[in-house]
Chains A and B, each alone.
Chain A
Amino acid sequence: DAKTTQPPSMDCAEGRAANLPCNHSTISGNEYVYWYRQIHSQGPQYIIHGLKNNETNEMASLIITEDRKSSTLILPHATLRDTAVYYCIVRSYNTDKLIFGTGTRLQVFP
């Protein structure tokens, strides 16, 4: 699986949009981009995934660049409960396990 690069930490004011970047410059054509988050002392929680089109669900939006070498997870209106470590994972169609990096620690402040 392709490696991903994320900033180790970010801050965001409550109510503002949180934009979390991820670089995956060696991504292959059959690899998906997944985002999970882990709130302190809990198991990881699935957020969203995509292949090449932008995706949106009730939790977040995923913007993937045209060359697919990077993506951005957008939490449109961050709340204090969104404070967590966010993991960007690239995963091929024939790989079942998730390979987690160190993620981005997002701190949402009042």
Chain B
Amino acid sequence: GAGVSQSPSNKVTEKGKDVELRCDPISGHTALYWYRQSLGQGLEFLIYFQGNSAPDKSGLPSDRFSAERTGGSVSTLTIQRTQQEDSAVYLCASSDFTSGGKDTQYFGPGTRLTVL
């Protein structure tokens, strides 16, 4: 397993329920990103973790969204009280962070979330 993996691949939930999406980055990658892609739209940045630094949460759309990264590896994105507009594909990426804007982000296959 050399790539970024995400689980589940598909998640259907009812409005108002909480969901957790998991990302396993490439081993050794210090940076981890979450994006989401609504139907027919481009990718929207959500949150970024780099090492032990405070995460960049500037893209989280509301306080219903949160994420954590335990032990500098696996990350969980949590959406509380889901709404229909949260339906999207949630993509995780990791990189071997290099200063100077040269690092390459490798994306997982995504989790397709459907809120009924």
Contact = CB atoms under 8 A, between A and B. Distances in A.
Interface of A: 30-32, 42-46, 49, 87, 91-103
If over half of A's interface residues share one DSSP class (helix, strand or loop), that class is named, otherwise mixed; here it is: loop
B33 A97 contact: yes
A5 to B, nearest CB: 13
Contacts of B59: 97
B101 A93 contact: yes
B109 A93 contact: no
The 9 residue pairs across chains A and B that have the minimum distance between CB atoms: A43-B107, A93-B101, A100-B43, A100-B42, A97-B45, A46-B104, A93-B100, A32-B101, A44-B107
Contacts of A87: 42
Interface of B: 4, 31, 33, 35, 41-45, 48, 50, 56, 59, 91, 93, 97, 99-102, 104-110
Contacts of B110: 42-43
A96 B42 contact: no
Given A92-B101, A94-B101, A43 B91 contact: yes
Contacts of A96: 31, 33, 48, 50, 56, 97
A45 B4 CA distance: 12
Contacts of A103: 42
A102 B105 contact: no
B86 to A, nearest CB: 19
A103 B40 CA distance: 11
Given A46-B106, A49-B102, A101 B97 contact: no
A43 B109 contact: yes
A102 B41 CA distance: 7
A97 B56 contact: yes
A102 B45 CA distance: 14
A31 B102 CA distance: 10
